[in-house]
Chains A and B, each alone.
Chain A
């Protein structure tokens, strides 16, 4: 299973990343709001969750705290990577870092870098899913 959940409300960015990841052989589910992201993430089907911070209804930080907060790790089999264009102050950055497996500024990376990052985190896509 090489399923990736992308929680991103900027349609252009979401589409661009999903296209690159699908081309590389991953299965990608795209959602655009906090609650939708939370519901999908809780299914436990995803190896990797790409989580934006500024998303509607519930912020990425709230989603993160629900997934890996006081109630423990609800997604122990998923890796979580924050993708944002909003530079956090040091304090919030540290709080986030302790709960996630990666963090990047979207404007600083390209689809190719994203694919390389995903490969390092969850490995190459399963052979049977190769396009």
Chain B
């Protein structure tokens, strides 16, 4: 809004100055009574024409500018999402790009006619704080505003008619962003819009920017006219803050893990070296210490993953693995944990399942979170059942069922939200309320789904699905050459498994 108001003020001030100087000249040159009436008429006509001109100008050009200015506010607040999370955001972006498109198209027309409107339009676009670029059907830059020239440290002559990929090469995961999108848009549609987030750009001044990139494609095939408009929204400062938050959590987790390493390590040393000399009761104490250490270690990892999930920074590395093997190994550890709490884990794991695409480290966290929950909410019931099978939709489905307190139907939807704690009080059941939140984020990152069925007083079944490796093998191979690294729960070493019992 500020931008459009400022430009309007400048425009009207210019028009007014034009009227005043114009009148003064006319008055000095034609200062006699007969001509005075004529003069009045001519001033009247001039003023009327100018008012009409200004109105027309405002109608044609400042309205789109106002739309842009209004929606820039949305970009700043991060609510405009062209990819359709919100209908309003998508519409806003369409309006903005339509306006930008109109502007740049008109600018091209006026420039060729050497019109003064061209200068005014140029001034308006140069007033935008966002770099805006117009690209023709040959991927050549045919328009760039002042913010773009500043960013790229180029003059207008240097940038015009340059290939987009050589001048403003926006990339994500090493792949060019815009050209492939224009290409595929051109194949299939007439109009298309796109929004990319968190695009890093290393500027010629060696500053690394973090942009949101908005693009609008409208097929026209004319080399003189823009076919694609690209606008960059600088989010560097905001995101520097976000990164610090994740980094801060990573650092806090690092500090928590150091004493934890020593505690867990020496618990094992004491068990190994004093083993037979300890009384049965002492052995149980040590087992409880060991399990609590493991649980704490899992919780600390959950904190970090939550911070990452909050900032869309949760990455999984999918690889082909045998699900029954991973699940059985995970359940061996968890059985001991269950036993300490007086519960018994019953597993039904068929051997002949197709391989899955998983990140073995994080998927074990999911199983562990679900079993921990089942232990917690089993109450007096002793049995927890873990099953896995190939479901009718072709996914590997794994369920964890308890026969405990259950969840009322109206609370089921809240279960997967952060810090949601059961309807039972804290004194009854411990926990952070992060387990299900993080489990869902991890399963989603595996392209799977999490669900729950529950009945109050009868128990709950939590389930999640994983994709068969064969269903996404091609995509994974395209993404990355699979290395010979085999990951386990605790880390990885080349050509081996960290699991050896």
Contacts and interface: CB of A to CB of B under 8 A. Distances in A.
B272 A85 contact: no
6 contacts: A16-B265, A85-B261, A87-B254, A87-B304, A102-B492, A120-B496
Interface stretch (B41-49, B183-191, B483-491): B483-491
A1 interface: no
Interface of A: 10, 12-13, 16-17, 19-20, 54, 81, 85-87, 89-90, 97, 101-113, 116-117, 120-121
Interface string B244-283: 0000001101101110111011111100100000000000
Contacts of A90: 315, 317
B493 A102 contact: yes
Instruction: Please name the 9 residue pairs, one residue from A and one from B, whose CB atoms are nearest each other, closest first.
Output: A104-B491, A102-B493, A85-B257, A107-B257, A110-B268, A106-B261, A90-B315, A86-B254, A108-B490
Contacts of A104: 490-492, 498
B297 interface: yes
A72 B317 CA distance: 28
A103 B490 CA distance: 9
B300 interface: yes
B498 A110 contact: no
B264 to A, nearest CB: 6
B494 interface: yes
Given A101-B493, A108-B491, A110-B264, 19 more contacts: A13-B262, A13-B265, A17-B265, A19-B269, A20-B265, A85-B253, A86-B250, A86-B253, A87-B250, A90-B315, A101-B494, A104-B498, A107-B258, A107-B261, A110-B267, A112-B268, A112-B272, A113-B498, A116-B498
A101 B264 CA distance: 25
Interface string B467-491: 0000000000000000101000111
B59 interface: no
Nearest to A100: B494
B489 to A, nearest CB: 7
Contacts, number: 93
B242 to A, nearest CB: 13
Contacts of A105: 257, 490-491
B53 to A, nearest CB: 55
A131 to B, nearest CB: 14
A20 B489 CA distance: 21
A103 B265 contact: no
Nearest to B300: A107
Contacts of A116: 498, 500
Nearest to B305: A87
B175 to A, nearest CB: 15
Given A16-B262, A120-B500, A108 B315 contact: no
A89 B313 contact: yes
A116 B268 CA distance: 14
B313 A106 contact: no
Nearest to A121: B493
B265 A85 contact: no
B14 to A, nearest CB: 51
Nearest to B487: A103
A110 B333 CA distance: 14
Interface string B341-362: 0000000000000000000000
A101 B304 CA distance: 25
Contacts of A17: 265
Given A16-B266, A110-B265, A103 B492 contact: yes
Contacts of B304: 87
Given A13-B261, A16-B266, A16-B269, A109 B490 contact: yes
Nearest to B290: A110
Contact of B491 (A12, A19, A102, A112): A102
A85 B493 CA distance: 16
Contacts of A121: 493, 496
A13 B258 CA distance: 8
B22 to A, nearest CB: 63
Nearest to A103: B491
A29 B251 CA distance: 28
Given A10-B258, A54-B254, A107 B496 contact: no
Nearest to A89: B313
Nearest to B500: A116
Contacts of A112: 268, 272
B444 to A, nearest CB: 17
Contact of A109 (B253, B315, B491, B500): B491
A28 B304 CA distance: 33
Interface string B278-320: 0000000000000000000100110010000000010101000
A17 B262 CA distance: 10
B264 A107 contact: yes
Contacts of A13: 258, 261-262, 265
B378 to A, nearest CB: 26
Contacts of B494: 101-102
Nearest to A102: B493
